[in-house]
Chains A and B, each alone.
Chain A
Amino acid sequence: MVKWIRNHIRNIVQICFTALTNGYAAGFVKGTIYKGDFKLICVPGLNCYSCPGALGSCPIGSFQAVVTSRNHFFSFYVVGFLLLFGALLGRFVCGWLCPFGLVQDLLHKIPFPKKLKKLPGDRILKFLKYIILIGFVVILPITVVDLVGQGQPWFCKYICPSGTLFGGIPLIAANPSLQSALSWLFTWKMVLLVILLFLSVVVYRPFCRYICPLGAVYSLFNPIAFYRYTVKKDKCTGCKACQSDCPMYIPVYKTPNSLECIRCGKCKNTCPHQAICSSFLKNDESEKIKRGNF
């Protein structure tokens, strides 16, 4: 039992955190959303605030909500929140605390004849999330405004599959008044969602790798966050066991703090020489490791 828990600790934490931050069960039954004071607070992962169960706010949605208002051009509140979580944990949030990450993890457990380590064009595609962050989360919501100076949440409106899955589908299923408002936009978002869910079966976490703007933000903190990985040079033989077992296919022995690493911890368990360790403190050994980016 203890061994089983140890082997599944990440999934257990993901499920518990998702249940904790989406615990408003009445919302699913009534087809409504939680309207209490906790909605002031952002959650660290991509968690649509229009999910019937959501108790907190999505940082990406919140950022767009602030910058599209007429009173603000920048959100110190949300950026401060991201700096805080990013500097403490980096992409640990993606691996352990994100509900949409959990969905992708579970889907990837479904057997498929040919699983891929990465999509063709991975080297270029992984920059797409930074373009989406700058374009759809920052520039378009701020610059494209209507006559009264109001912008739109471009990422939420045209891309976010988390909003469709956790917000759109349960709300529309339980709320007949919303069903009459269905349009081409919902069809577009459903197509995107279905493609992403299918890709999640074939390749590990395609949304996190190529699209997620929140992952793009946290990735920049990986090399400098308090929580970091270290490779003990005296123990590492360069056997590449860490890379071949890494779901994101990162050469951990070379770049333990890669921007793509979601801190799942698989490499630490795989390493036959126990050369990879993680800690909240930067120790002397990690000083010697060249900080890699990819």
Chain B
Amino acid sequence: MILFRRNIISVALILIGVSFLVLGVWQEETEQVFRKAVNICMECIGLG
């Protein structure tokens, strides 16, 4: 409990982070990430 009280901002950010992660997965953002990541990103490697 003392740990949580002393690191209240960090704990709050972690909770927000986990909520955002869940929301992102629910909104199917992971599919967008996956689709981009499994194809060679021509912009990333400098081919435009």
Contact surface of A with B, Cβ cutoff 8 Å: 32-35, 39-40, 42, 48-50, 57, 61-62, 65-66, 69, 71-72, 75-84, 86-88, 152-153, 156-157, 160, 163-164, 167-168, 171-172, 178, 181-183, 185-186, 188-190, 221, 224-226, 281-283
Contacts and interface: CB of A to CB of B under 8 A. Distances in A.
B20 A79 contact: yes
A77 B22 CA distance: 7
Nearest to B27: A76
B33 A33 contact: no
A81 B48 contact: no
Nearest to B38: A35
B13 interface: yes
B interface: dominant SS: helix
Contact of B29 (A66, A224, A283): A66
Contacts of A79: 17, 20, 24
Interface of B: 3, 6-7, 9-11, 13-14, 16-25, 27, 29-30, 32-48
Contacts of B23: 76-77, 80
A66 B9 contact: no
A76 to B, nearest CB: 4
A13 B25 CA distance: 30
Given A40-B34, A65-B36, A181 B13 contact: no
B33 to A, nearest CB: 5
Contacts of B13: 83, 86-87, 221, 224
25 contacts: A39-B34, A40-B34, A42-B33, A49-B41, A50-B45, A65-B33, A65-B37, A76-B21, A76-B24, A77-B21, A78-B29, A78-B33, A80-B17, A80-B24, A83-B16, A84-B14, A84-B21, A86-B13, A87-B14, A87-B17, A160-B44, A167-B41, A167-B45, A168-B46, A282-B6
A163 B14 contact: no
